[in-house]
Structure 1
Amino acid sequence: MTSFLDPLIAFVSAHPWLGYLTLFLAALLEAVPVVGSVIPGSTIILALSALIPGGELKLQWVLLAAALGAVLGDGSAYWIGHRRQREILNTWPLTNYPRVVAESESFFHRFGTWAVFFARFVPPVRAFVPVTAGALGMAPAKFYAVNIPAILAWAPAHVLPGVLAVSALHHYAGLHHHEHVGKHIWILTVVGGAIVLALALWIRHRRNGVTAAKSQA
């Protein structure tokens, strides 16, 4: 992964406007069913956020590009599902991923409306829950009422760890040039992974609590 990210970071450093476009596309494609399960959108966003402390990219525009991409990606997937209903879940290419589709549907049934919020932070169902929500008849107003706040929380959660980590490196190790950033991508990945892991453990704990409550009822 580092062999891919290092050239990308160097290229974006020289062409900042393409950096915002890359962030937008990474967030958008990550929300597309099937495509989102193979595109390392979160990793790209986390890595490019490392350029913010050096001034190559601006925090507000990074957050905006990531949020807009996620909104468009989630919204497009939702409306495809909403338009075609359950038929879309039994149509290619989703039929090539029966396990993830089943997990997404189970995730939606387990958490209800909140599944749209939680799925933003849990790959690979993140790329499948919006289309599943539409296919299962979730109302548009209810979808966006949960999806927009989820994205507003998701964008900083993916961008700020990279900013804070690189700022700390600059402060404590005197790293003032973006050429050094690629060598420390692993730190950013660990930070991002810790966030995702913590959320996944919380969801698992909540699921076990719901299961226990049902068994006692």
Structure 2
Amino acid sequence: MLMRVNEALTWLLDVVQSVDPVLRTLLAGLAIMLETSVLIGLIVPGDTVVIVAATGVSSTLEGFVLGAVVVVGALLGESIGFALGRWLGPHIRTSWVGRLIGEQNWQRSERYLRRRGGLAIFLSRFLPVLHSLVPLTVGMSGYSYRRFLMWTLPACVLWTSLYVSIAAGAARSYREAADSAHYAGYVFVGVILLLVVGVFTAKKIIARVERRHMHD
């Protein structure tokens, strides 16, 4: 059973690594750009695509390039959201898509920005729903694009560093231990699950704390 788990994981990692590194990196950047663009982030699993791409990293240089492309993709996505908020925000909010999101979420995003200011922009990268709505709300608010970038850039760098380094490190450690340790596959799966569960839990905790503060 242990050998079969290792064989299956090795096969999956080899499949990811067999994809051309340039294509793999560009797909991760595109996915995170869509994930951080207005509304699209509610349905596109950019986090998952970045994790999968990171498991195929075979060198430090590849890891840095992947991280840089993901950061650029995230910034492009958030910039698109900001620009749409500046020019089309009210129309999007009253459209059928805006109504589908729900007025309560729009109001929550506005209250969050008013209360936290720049910190709201930073934290929104780590929060569900708000990571798509806050850039749009910031654009609608008249907040300057330069100040927006000053807050969102470090958030994108931190987020990307965590995802890429943990996923790539887990895959590399697994490959080094797979031949000598039959339980290596379970360790790898455990690390990835801890990453996903940890991120999900952290998002929930931050969101709960922020909701409590907004209602105080």
TM-score, structure 2 as length reference: 0.78
Whole-Å Cα distance in 1 between the matches of residues 99 and 17 of structure 2? 36
Matched, 1:91 2:95: yes
Whole-Å Cα distance in 1 between the matches of residues 44 and 206 of structure 2? 25
- Corresponding residue for residue 73 of structure 1: 77
Helix, strand or coil at the partner of 2:65? helix
Whole-Å Cα distance in 2 between the matches of residues 61 and 106 of structure 1? 37
- Corresponding residue for residue 17 of structure 1: 22
- Corresponding residue for residue 127 of structure 2: 122
Whole-Å Cα distance in 2 between the matches of residues 57 and 133 of structure 1? 35
Q: Which of 187, 194, 204 lines up with 1:190 in the alignment? A: 194
- Corresponding residue for residue 111 of structure 1: 116
C-alpha displacement of 1:70: 0.5
Whole-Å Cα distance in 1 between the matches of residues 156 and 194 of structure 2? 21
Q: Which of 146, 164, 167 lines up with 2:169 in the alignment? A: 164
* CA offset digits 1:124-179 (Å, max 9, x no partner): 2211110111112222122111011111111112211102222332344338xxxx
Whole-Å Cα distance in 2 between the matches of residues 163 and 93 of structure 1? 36
C-alpha displacement of 1:203: 5.0
C-alpha displacement of 1:62: 0.5
Q: Which of 63, 66, 70 lines up with 1:62 in the alignment? A: 66
Q: Which of 42, 45, 52 lines up with 1:37 in the alignment? A: 42
In structure 2, do the counterparts of structure 1 residues 9 and 118 end up closer, same or farther at CA, with 3 Å as the change threshold? Answer: farther
In structure 2, do the counterparts of structure 1 residues 185 and 56 end up closer, same or farther at CA, with 3 Å as the change threshold? Answer: farther
Any stretches of 5+ residues in structure 2 without a counterpart?
1-10
Superposition CA RMSD, Å: 3.2
C-alpha displacement of 1:186: 6.5
| Higher mean displacement: 133-142 or 56-65 | 56-65
- What amino acid is the match of 2:170? A
Helix, strand or coil at the partner of 2:78? helix
Identity of aligned residues (%): 22
Any stretches of 5+ residues in structure 1 without a counterpart?
1-5
| Higher mean displacement: 156-165 or 24-33 | 156-165
Which consecutive aligned stretches of 4+ in structure 1 deviate over 6 angstroms post-superposition?
6-9
- What amino acid is the match of 2:160? A
In structure 2, do the counterparts of structure 1 residues 127 and 85 end up closer, same or farther at CA, with 3 Å as the change threshold? Answer: closer
TM-score, structure 1 as length reference: 0.78
C-alpha displacement of 1:194: 0.3
* CA offset digits 1:59-98 (Å, max 9, x no partner): 0111011011001100011011012343432234222211
The 8 Å contact of residues 26 and 40 in structure 1, kept in 2 or not, is answered as yes
